[in-house]
Chains A and B, each alone.
Chain A
């Protein structure tokens, strides 16, 4: 930490102090409700209300949207979101509920929306008053995203939307959706256009949201069905037929490779919301026994824990080296690894935690004897969400191979 501070610009340094002081006085405290491991599994209004209040207070204090211009509800600072994120992580605040909004919708609307639309939508996105969701995937279009079929038909100055989106996280709370639509059936890529759609106000009136139950038993993602939903042309981002290019902005930011830093809070540790890093495996391994000895003394487990710690350290050092142009061979080489590595490392850590727990790893959330409240099996199950969502690990490897190494395209 001392290391990063020394490298702050004077604006960053002052802002860091401000954040620190504000957080010392305004941490929202222990939630009265059980929080899930990530915002993608928020199920109840109580959870959502608590988290929305927290995001609003952080926004009002200037810790969200720091790098966006003031006209769109940001604070017009330079490279300061990183600083706020650092400090929120240190202060172990809860996460923000509007993850899709902050991470994907905001940069997309910002880069591709008209001024009036930005000014109208972004302030409430940053404050968390409007929750956003992302309507990309469909039953027939997953990894091959450009094959989406949900169709928008022009009718006067309006569009009539029909189709079926799936796996839509947070749609059950969302006011708005960013959506990739087909406006022309004769061109795969150039037939796509990108819109923002108000969905909550259209529920029962052209939009149906049906929750889906995840592998963990939680809800959080949904099917969203459009039946003759009428939307205004002013909700279109960028030109007609440029949907694919706009979607690239969304995906780049979703995968942590965009140029706008996503506001991110987190690190709150309570029994129910337990963050899982490799170091925490050490204390776990000291508590459990195997063959009459501490698991922490088993050479193979020791080796595996160290391997996780090294991979985790390597990933965080990647972020740092990513800021030293002299030590980079290709500008996208490190950024495009972020999502792949963070999800795979988290998976490996959770899997190892279960091996360390041994027989007790069979005990799940709700069992009073489950170590750590059953959070590790839950984390392991949830980890597959991360290696599948936002482009699967296989798709990430295709992208890295093709875009960075220049290997032959697989399509």
Chain B
């Protein structure tokens, strides 16, 4: 074993490898297309297409509790291992509540909320309801309030909400923000699914009408702040994996397709931008493992690196998607061609939890200091 592995050890390599094999066996892209792209109708009612059985198998493999600390009954795997797993979820564009469950886990762990973590270990999926209708990535944006033991108001842009059992809600209570663990089936919880571009995810609005709840711990906002860099890491890993699929699939196509008596990849207007996609994938992946490793090795750098990472990943998501469709020509513009599935997932991931300029602005606040009034 080389001595400079970002802490990416044999367990991490094994997890990543087996995830890759699992997805390519269980949900190859043609099956994925059948599963998620069965209805092209513009303006169709929102729906979430996924395989619950597959998710159950992922739970049985222990993947939904990889990030739960050992002390709370989970596998407590290091962030580099989790990043590897998420990369594979992205490469397979897998429709599942994986990202949401892992994201929620990181917040719960930061809040030291033992009981909810036990729910995750028992196989429940969960998601975060922390965004308001505007300025969604501002942690103060939640429009839910907590008064007299009851939650009221609406949460927006709640990811994978159709697929989960539990919701971690952030709400204003007097002058602070607190966190609540709510069963989706509780009285007063109403869910309206959004019609979204991405076919591999679902998203919705969750309204709370006097839902009884108790704060999960005395930590609220601080737990969210602590967990956000890891959440940006998860989305970025998904983007990196999906982008590598876009790159390899497009390379394969431009090698096979001939025009002007040459394989398309011969032409530099095709070749050079694909090289630039590769370069951007590598930038994102290098930042990904560096950031993941920093969580334990140099935690003071984690937030900075996470902003760098998500900025890089968001740019990658847009760029790789654009090149994948453009380089496929007419076929790339059809519903039938698989590239649109990844294109749409990437456009979703690009904005999810902050796009590139949002993250660069936050990074500038750290490195330059806030803009003078």
Contacts and interface: CB of A to CB of B under 8 A. Distances in A.
Nearest to A306: B360
Interface string A277-312: 001001001100000011011010011011101110
Contacts of A325: 2
Contacts of B133: none
B364 A397 contact: no
Given A311-B283, A317-B287, A327-B289, A400 B364 contact: no
A406 B4 CA distance: 29
A296 B368 contact: yes
A297 B372 contact: yes
Interface in B286-310: 286-287, 289-290, 297-298, 305, 308
A404 interface: yes
B308 to A, nearest CB: 5
A256 interface: no
A303 B283 contact: no
Interface stretch (B157-165, B209-217, B263-271): B263-271
B151 interface: no
B272 A314 contact: no
B367 interface: yes
A81 to B, nearest CB: 16
B218 interface: no
A313 interface: yes
A334 interface: yes
Interface residues of A, number: 53
A401 interface: yes
Given A317-B287, A320-B290, A407-B251, A9 B308 contact: no
| Candidate in B2, B247, B312, B360 with the most chain A CB atoms within 10 angstroms | B360
Interface in A226-284: 279, 282
A382 B332 CA distance: 42
A306 B372 contact: no
Nearest to A281: B368
A284 to B, nearest CB: 11
A334 B283 CA distance: 10
B38 to A, nearest CB: 32
A405 B274 contact: yes
B2 A407 contact: no
Contact of A314 (B271, B275, B283, B363): B283
A410 interface: yes
Interface in B217-232: none
A323 B2 contact: yes
Contact of B265 (A314, A333, A401): A401
Nearest to B83: A327
B364 A303 contact: yes
Interface string A1-37: 0110001110000000000000000000000000000
Given A302-B361, A324-B6, 18 more contacts: A7-B3, A8-B3, A299-B371, A306-B361, A306-B364, A314-B283, A317-B286, A317-B290, A324-B2, A394-B272, A397-B276, A400-B278, A401-B272, A404-B278, A407-B251, A407-B263, A407-B274, A408-B262
Closest 4 CB pairs of A and B: A407-B265, A314-B283, A317-B286, A408-B266
11 contacts: A282-B368, A297-B372, A302-B368, A306-B367, A307-B311, A309-B367, A317-B283, A323-B4, A325-B2, A394-B268, A408-B263
